[in-house]
Chains A and B, each alone.
Chain A
Amino acid sequence: MTLHAPAINYVALLPFLLLVGAATTLLFMTALTRNRLSTVVSTSIAVAAALGGFITTFVQWFEVNHHGATTTAAHAIVMDGFSVVMAASITSSLTFALLIAHDWQGRERFNGAEYQMLALLATSGALLMTQANDLVLLFLGLEILSIALYCIIAFNRRRLKSSESSMKYFLLGGFAAAIFIYGVALAYGASGTTNVTALSYFLGTNHLLHPGLLLAGGGLMMIAFAFKVQAVPFHFWSPDVYEGAPTPVTGFHASIVWGGAFAAMIRVMISGLGTQVSTWRPIFFVLIVLSTLVGAAFAILQGNAKRLLAYSSVSHSGFILLGVWTGTAAGVAASSFYVLTYAPVVLGTFAIVALVGGVGDANHELEKYRGLARRNPWIGASLAVLLLSQLGVPFTVGFDGKFAVLAATIDAGNTVGAVVAMVAACIAAFAYLRWTTSLFVAENLDLEPLVVPFASRVVITLSVAYALILGIDPSWLTSITSHATLLFQP
């Protein structure tokens, strides 16, 4: 018996390969050099790989535009407009996250390339999740992502909270992964395939007399996704992990892990189980109502910046789920637009949070932000812009994202969901506003102004520029995302 290796389109895999390649290179360099690698070298290599991945997505975009969506590696990997756009978001977020981490490593005196390697590997898992067209491969991506993530959450060995939160995430994440693979097994039992396209085809052409197996499988997968995107009631880990993880890792989590998880969720729910939309919609509706409201309500109770941002991203997850709920192309476009607009903004926010947090992540109480805008006018103003963007003020991307999701939702007939989400946005507004207000009070003027290292400055400037420029004219990005979802599914 001979084994036939499937044909592989390497352009589709190039971003993934670049990141894994860079991680491996760093690994060998660490092993083969005499001294520890300097952070500058390792960051440069990692950033080069991330940027390379980002540029590759343009090539992919070109190819998808000209030849349509394709699958490769025995239909396990897909390259369509949606995956390309999500990959672009993830690779650009990785660039930002690495730059933030670079300054953090300098502050904490972590030399070497371990962090960069793990970040690259975790991101490669996220990329795999956006491209996986097979549930088993998706599981692989999920695990690559998670295992690397457990390590970098615990990266600061000197900080007890860091290890504690990693442990928490590991235990719960392990459960989620197990639940997911069990769901995959049941779905396989019901349909005879793990391929998302084949699953969709099977469900479209067959009527299941006993859908119990499929329902259970789909439900379990949904729980795993809800866990990863921090939807209530599967969010309990997120404030602890956000608080405990080193701040650059928190930023990494809020943009890359989140984006990858949403991409996979959209792929499975819409592309794979799209025919069952009337079955899963009510469950999503419950998740939306709980996530938006609980996230917003708990955000205003927090006295810690990172916990506040954790609950805020729970609430933002609810908004994205609103787009998924629709099951329409417009809804998916709106959801991916939301991810694309949220990721840079949240990374810029965490860049500032990391700076204020200082050595050992010691200063994350909201009191530490009082008077920040008086001591560091530019940082204060930037943080104000980023927070107001998350609040959803017009002329910032946050508004455009909310608007797109609401329009898609109302278009699909879910006005109640839209109203609930906006009520939550008003509640969350209090949290952001209180924080913003505290930046401008005339207190703590005698404290030393923050020193803003170069890499962080780049990240903050770019994210603020992104929030404002795209906020004023979002049309090019909306046309990309809506074009991308038309190229959804091979």
Chain B
Amino acid sequence: MHSSLWLSALLFVPLVGAIVAQLVRRSDGRAYLVAVACATVELALSAVVAVLYNPGVAGAQGFDFAYRLVLSAPLGLAYDVAVDGISLWLVVLTALTALIALLAARDRRNEASYVTWQLVLMGVTMGCFVTHDLLAFFIFFELILIPCYFMMTQWGGEGRQAAAMKFFLYTFTGSAFMLIALIFLAITHQHQVGGPLTFAYGALAQTALSSSTATWIFIGMAVAFAVKAPLWPLHTWSPSTYAEAPAATGIILAALLSKLGSYGLLRFCVGLLPSALPTMRPILLTLAVVSILYGSLVACTAKDLRRFIAYSSLAQMGFVTLGVMSGSRIGTEGAVLLMLNHGIITIGVFVLVGYLERRQLSGRVAALRGLQKPMPVLAGLFTLFMLATMGLPGLNGFVSEYLILIGTFGTHAWWALAATLGVVGSAVYWLWVYQRAFHGPVAPENATLTDVTTAERLALLPIAALVIVLGVLPQTVLHRIDPAVSILSTHVAPSGVSK
């Protein structure tokens, strides 16, 4: 087992960075450099964790780097970190998203404060993924709202106040139910085994629950995650939030924070409450399929690129949910992989939208006509990300979507069949938006636009590279995901199918 200090470093580097950025706040440029340095260190640390990770630590259920320190026994509050193959790649994604958001979506208005919030957001998101304790997870999950809220209200677009409020209230309400559900679970556990209140993941996984109790807890938690993911019909905050958020926040929200929902669903709902699965699985699979189809349909009609991303993400997160709930090992692996892949692709697309907005283009599709001519490189990058989402073999989106569909076909064929329509749908809406924005005659006011600059290209280079590398060599990622998913499948197996 490796030292937990690596994870503690992941958790505290951004917070230290935030303090340093505040100390040098007089000079915006310096604060920005601090933030970039901090995010780079974070990415390096997460790469080290990814390389070192050993799935076979004895008795750790696939977890490594584990450490637990009880802070307050009566409240059950503990500092508890560990990662396994499921959270590992999300840790990497967190660092990557934060770094690219800083590099590619620099916002110079009151920059010291802005990057401080970004670092805080990186830290608490990291906290969500490395924590191994339900209460600590909940606390980080809620804390994410604060930096997002302040970034939106102060750096966002025209309708930012209303959008920020909607975002906050939606998420806060969702997590209110999660709080009750997890307290209920912990107290049930305490009544069963005695001792002080604990929210440790490993301990709570051993709670014996009747199917109906488990279902209620499942629902309480799933609401929070369905809001975050988002999942139809709790997605309605996302289009306005994506539209009004400042570029960097939008990237983080769309690429990273949405994964919290599916991650939570897999880790806490499926992992902790297998006895609820027979009841809940058909419901969530149906919601996933509806999300896929509904997202695809509405994405076709989206008039604004950011809203387009919101609906396309709804469809993609529907696929993730499908895999998570499929009850098959392959499908679940595909879902974990798609969380990473969709994150990477979304960073790319959102950054490109940010580049367009920098050139004084609103993201309105109607105003974009014919961009291919003045901006060939941008159009090329957009095509790459588009093809990756559509699931072109050789690019990263393909593998994950394929695994999800294969897995789900084996266990829930009808849902998989319906979801396959979504694959077609994604080709339709992507190509259509591409045609509208990039083809056709150039609008005269767009003819003189400059293409992406070298700096802008460099910021996107790692993303484009990853899209290709992960498409060709998914095994590098998959062989770390596999042990954790297989342990989870074995734990869940008695309650249903697992192939």
| Among listed B57-65, B137-145, B362-370, B427-435, interface-contacting one | B137-145
A404/B179 in contact, CB under 8 A = no
A441/B161 in contact, CB under 8 A = yes
Q: Given A393, A418, A430, which contacts B146 in the complex, CB threshold below 8 Å?
A: A393
A45 vs B353: C-alpha distance when bound (angstroms): 64
| Among listed A24-32, A72-80, A286-294, A406-414, interface-contacting one | A406-414
A482 vs B197: C-alpha distance when bound (angstroms): 14
Interchain nearest-CB distance for A392 vs B (Å):
9
| Among listed B168-176, B260-268, B300-308, B469-477, interface-contacting one | B168-176
Nearest residue in B to A402 (C-beta to C-beta)?
Answer: B179
B153/A395 in contact, CB under 8 A = no
A419/B142 in contact, CB under 8 A = no
A393 vs B183: C-alpha distance when bound (angstroms): 16
Residue A324 interfacial (CB < 8 Å)? no
Kindly list chain A residues whose C-beta atoms are within 8 Å of the C-beta of B179. Answer: 403, 406, 422
Interchain nearest-CB distance for A362 vs B (Å):
26
Kindly list chain B residues whose C-beta atoms are within 8 Å of the C-beta of A419. Answer: 177, 180
Residue A360 interfacial (CB < 8 Å)? no
Nearest residue in A to B139 (C-beta to C-beta)?
Answer: A394
Residues from 407 to 435 in A contacting B, C-beta threshold 8 Å: 407, 410-411, 415, 418-419, 422-423, 425-426, 429-430, 433-434
Interchain nearest-CB distance for B479 vs A (Å):
36
Q: Given B71, B172, B187, which contacts A407 in the complex, CB threshold below 8 Å?
A: B187
Task: Kindly supply a per-residue 1/0 record for chain B positions 131-157, scoring 1 wherever the CB is within 8 Å of any chain A CB and 0 otherwise.
Answer: 000000011001101100010011000
B145/A400 in contact, CB under 8 A = no
Nearest residue in B to A407 (C-beta to C-beta)?
Answer: B183
By secondary structure, the B interface counts as helix
Task: Kindly supply a per-residue 1/0 record for chain B positions 101-143, scoring 1 wherever the CB is within 8 Å of any chain A CB and 0 otherwise.
Answer: 0000000000000000000000000000000000000110011
Q: Given B77, B154, B173, which contacts A475 in the complex, CB threshold below 8 Å?
A: B77
Nearest residue in A to B71 (C-beta to C-beta)?
Answer: A475
Q: Given A411, A422, A430, which contacts B187 in the complex, CB threshold below 8 Å?
A: A411
A229 vs B476: C-alpha distance when bound (angstroms): 62
B168/A395 in contact, CB under 8 A = no
B72/A422 in contact, CB under 8 A = no
Residue B75 interfacial (CB < 8 Å)? yes
B164/A404 in contact, CB under 8 A = no
Nearest residue in A to B136 (C-beta to C-beta)?
Answer: A394
A429 with B168, Cβ < 8 A, contacts A393-B143, A422-B177, A437-B153 known: yes
Residues from 34 to 78 in B contacting A, C-beta threshold 8 Å: 71-77
Residue A388 interfacial (CB < 8 Å)? yes
Interchain nearest-CB distance for B266 vs A (Å):
23
Q: Given A437, A478, A479, which contacts B165 in the complex, CB threshold below 8 Å?
A: A437
Nearest residue in B to A333 (C-beta to C-beta)?
Answer: B74
A429 vs B165: C-alpha distance when bound (angstroms): 10
Nearest residue in B to A482 (C-beta to C-beta)?
Answer: B74
Residue A473 interfacial (CB < 8 Å)? yes
B75/A429 in contact, CB under 8 A = no
If A393-B143, A404-B75, A418-B183 are given as contacts, then 16 extra A-B residue pairs at C-beta distance below 8 Å, sorted by A number, are A394-B142, A394-B143, A399-B142, A406-B179, A407-B187, A411-B190, A415-B184, A419-B180, A426-B172, A426-B173, A426-B176, A434-B165, A437-B165, A474-B72, A478-B72, A478-B75
Residues of A within 8 A of B (CB): 388, 391, 393-395, 399-400, 403-404, 406-407, 410-411, 415, 418-419, 422-423, 425-426, 429-430, 433-434, 437, 440-441, 473-475, 478-479, 482
Q: List 28 A-B contacts (CB under 8 A).
A: A393-B146, A394-B138, A394-B139, A394-B142, A394-B143, A395-B139, A403-B183, A406-B183, A407-B183, A407-B187, A410-B180, A410-B184, A418-B180, A422-B179, A423-B176, A429-B168, A429-B172, A429-B173, A433-B169, A437-B161, A437-B165, A440-B150, A440-B154, A441-B153, A473-B71, A475-B74, A475-B77, A478-B72
Residues of B within 8 A of A (CB): 71-77, 138-139, 142-143, 145-146, 150, 153-154, 161, 164-165, 168-169, 172-173, 176-177, 179-180, 183-184, 186-187, 190, 197
